[in-house]
Amino acid sequence: MKIAILDDFQDTVRTLECFEKLSAHDVLILNEHIEDIQVLSQRLQGVQALVLIRERSFITAELLSLLPELKIIAQAGKTGRHLDLQACQAQGIEVFETQGTSVANAEFTLLMVLASLRNFPQEVANMQAGLWQKSIGRQLHGRTLAILGLGRIGEQVARAGQTLGAHILVWGRESSKNKAQRNGWHFATSREEFFSKADVLCVLLRLSPQTTHYVTASDLALMKSDAILVNTARAEVIEAGALYTALKLGRPGFAAVDVYEQEPVLSHRHPLQELSNCLCTPHLGFVERDNYENYMSQAFDHINSRATVMIKSA
């Protein structure tokens, strides 16, 4: 079977232990991101199985129509708006999801929180420039860690923050409220309380039609001038352009962002990269070797299973 793996930016997949599972197949790995549908379809001619790493490429009805031999799509993670499931069904393409854990994302979110509080990137840059201790950081202990969306990742971040002595403040749906109450964490009485009391606010909502542009410019204007906003969920959860404007106005005073409306972000083309009070990272939340082994192992097992069935039925 001819298999293509898209958007393996770090050329990591071939180094995974589970890659051996594809030894009997013809495997094409694309390390560069290709947006042009005509170019991508040419590269994928003859491909029967496609492996997608999260939502890095949009698989549209137009692209699928140019791939008549495609029979299987194995999604590393959950399917979403990047994959036209209706078009897949119409073309008889089987789609498989893989199950991951929230550990890597939660760890990375906490890393962003602590790096922002302690001015870590700035001080590394200062030392590279021959300077010494040019800023003074703050600790998380005793401060209010606000969690927007108390799902699996949100709960892990909240627990870690509580362990470090933070006061946990939660906002979200009824399920978040119930979980907060079970854990003894304060669920804000209003959006105004949530945004205005946060010292560090972590956006951890799953993107959906209901959560698109959930955080508005008015919400951000309520934040403290020394507050930090961390977004490791999805860029579209925040109203378009609102965070850039808010940071320019100084409320919140700092942001750490790992997600963008269009990815990958190349050649310093995102406005947030212009700001000295914003730490930008290239969507690293789930990018971790154990995560890849887990996702890819499941994806490759799905492909091998279907390949066996296809051979028997041929």
Active-site annotation, residues? 234, 263, 283
- Residue 28 has what DSSP assignment? E
Q: Which tokens sit at 57?
A: 């490429």
Q: How far apart are CA 200 and CA 185, in angstroms?
A: 15
| β partners of residue 231 | 203, 257
| DSSP code at position 237 | G
d(CA 190, CA 68): 52
Question: Distances from the Cα of 310 to the Cαs of 1, 87, 168, 303, 313, in angstroms?
Answer: 10, 21, 52, 10, 5
Cα(181)–Cα(197) distance, rounded to whole angstroms? 18
User: Degrees (nearest 5) of the Cα angle 142, 146, 149?
Assistant: 150
* Contact (CB, 8 A) for 228 and 255: yes
CA distance 88 to 72: 9
Strands 144-148 and 228-231: unpaired
Continuous H helices in the chain: 37-43, 61-65, 85-90, 103-117, 120-128, 152-163, 174-183, 191-197, 217-221, 242-249, 289-313
CB of 256 closer than 8 Å to CB of 278: yes
Question: Mind spelling out the 3-state secondary structure of 147-190?
Answer: EECCCHHHHHHHHHHHHCCCEEEEECCHHHHHHHHHHCCEECCC
